[in-house]
Amino acid sequence: MSTMAVDDVAVAPVNEGFWTRARKAGLVLTALGLLAVLLFTTLAASEPARFTLSEDAGGAALKINGTVGAALFGVVALAAGVAILAGLPKRWFTLVLGVGLVGFVVSFLCWQVSTAPAGQNFMPLVNIARGTFILALPLIFGSLAGVLCERSGVINVAIEGQLLMGAFSGALFGSLSGNLWVGLVAAAIGGTLISLLLAVFAIRYLVDQVVMGIVLNLLAVGITGFLYERLMQPDPAKYNSAPHFSNWEIPLLSEIPVLGPALFAGNIFLYLGLLLVLVIHIGLFRTRWGLRTRSVGEHPTAADTLGVRVLRLRYRNVLLAGAVAGIGGASYTLALFSFTKNMIGGKGFIALAALIFGRWSPTGALLAALFFGFADQLATYLSAINSAIPSQFLAMLPYLATILAVAGLVGRVRAPAADGKPYIKG
């Protein structure tokens, strides 16, 4: 169902006069620019703000005076906003909007870094970049799982449960066998089990998919929590000490400043995640399977008429999605931590937000996941430098951004037409 002019909602006819969508976005950006120029600049200290290209204060750095930086980049945001307001050609819109938003963020950072306590007024870009990718990983896997499901017309609110089940079975079977790969496969199967329930109930028994997703999340929380307390807590050495994948450095590429250590010195999950984005993107838009998946998600009756087996394709995609999300869950328990109760803690819902914010496309989901990961990492950084900005407000950012996106402020967000509607042959 389209989230724009939904025909079952009495929306006033969209007045595409002067206030087009682009102009509204421009207005918001102009307001942000003004905020940056007026507020951030006044609050910023006239101290150097250093953005180091390393993990600590040392090494090469980009340096700028806090006040100057906040003002300069604020003006960039303001100018971009005004340009869009003035009626920019459509093809420039995305680029200028992007530049404006980056300007706003950098202006904000100049203010924050320059007012940090003495000795801490630097921002280690390597740390930030690496943290962004690490925090975005479960979101990437989760939102890809969402893409696979929803593109074929099955709403996946159970991402949280799939991640959690993956994390749990990865940890359990990883430690029982002592083998990483067994853990990885078990994680994929764990996620698939939740998916299987979703598929059977949504496709075979026509249960509402959102309802099913919510219930499955609770089921996953319950089962993993129950088994955690019965098995893992009493005997962590046997049940909850899975080996961890180590980081694999790719020679040469990992030498690239800032992005190298973040992108090419990660663990298997990082590479797998990025590879999956590429594979699913190509698969969805360049292969027969992708064409069929999309057609089943948009107009199953038409696809059926042309000989596509709608239900079988939906089953297959939903199960695949579970495997992807399950591996995403293992990116916690087979690389970073041991399993704890409810350890996904809402990441599945941020992944859902990333899916929607990324407009149901793999690359969009990746960008949204990285944006949310960055916001998360920034919150950590800001609380480390005792910023006046409460970290909780930054943590709200992904959710607020999604609400704005769905309300139509940031471009058009449209779900696959048949998303969530069971298909009944006949």
Partner 1 sequence: MTNAESGSPDKEPATTDQAARTTLDNTERAEPTSQQPPERPALGQLFVANLWAANTFTVTLLSLVLAMIVGGILMIVSDPDVLATYSYITARPGDALNASWALVSEAYANLFKGAVLDPDAVGLTAALSPISETLTYTAPLVFTGLSVALAFRGGLFNIGAQGQATMGVIAAGLAGFLLPLPAGLHLLVAVFAGAVGGAVWGFIPGILKARTGAHEVINTIMLNYVAVYFLVWLIVQNGVQDPNRTNAISRPVDASAQLPRLFGDNLRAHAGIILAVLATWAVAWLLNRSTLGFELRAVGSNPAASRTAGISVTRTYVLIMVFAGALAGLGGSQMVLGTTAAALTPLVVAQIGFDGILVALLGRVKPWGVLLAALLFGALQAGGNRMQSYSGVSLELVTVLQALIVIFIAAPALVKAIFQLRAARAARPQTSLAKGW
Interface contacts to partner 1, rule CB under 8 A: 1-12, 155, 157, 197, 201-202, 205-212, 214-216, 218-219, 221-223, 225-231, 341, 346, 349, 352-353, 356, 390, 392-393, 395-396, 399-400, 402-403, 406-408, 415, 418-422, 424
What is the smallest separation between the CB atom of 186 and partner 1, expressed in angstroms? 16
Indicate the residue among 211 and 250 with the shorter CB distance to partner 1.
211
- The radius of gyration computed from the CA coordinates of the chain, to the nearest angstrom, equals 23
Provide the sign of the torsion angle of the four alpha carbons 392, 393, 397, 403, taken in this order.
positive
The rounded distance, in Å, linking the Cα atoms of 129 and 107 is 18
Sheet containing 61-65: which strands, arranged edge to edge? 61-65, 48-52, 122-124
61-65 and 48-52: which strand pairing? antiparallel
The two structure tokens encoding residue 188: 């994929």
The rounded distance, in Å, linking the Cα atoms of 361 and 421 is 19
Indicate the residue among 98 and 346 with the shorter CB distance to partner 1.
346
Indicate the residue among 68 and 223 with the shorter CB distance to partner 1.
223
What is the smallest separation between the CB atom of 149 and partner 1, expressed in angstroms? 12
Indicate the residue among 107 and 387 with the shorter CB distance to partner 1.
387
What is the smallest separation between the CB atom of 158 and partner 1, expressed in angstroms? 11
The rounded distance, in Å, linking the Cα atoms of 155 and 153 is 6
Indicate the residue among 211 and 302 with the shorter CB distance to partner 1.
211
Size of the chain, expressed as the number of residues it contains? 426
Indicate the residue among 216 and 370 with the shorter CB distance to partner 1.
216
Do residues 327 and 269 touch, judged by C-beta distance below 8 A?
A: yes
Rounded to a whole number of angstroms, the distance between the first and last alpha carbons of the chain is: 22
The rounded distance, in Å, linking the Cα atoms of 347 and 157 is 12
Indicate the residue among 18 and 205 with the shorter CB distance to partner 1.
205
What is the smallest separation between the CB atom of 298 and partner 1, expressed in angstroms? 12
**Cα dihedral 95/96/98/102 (nearest 10):** 140
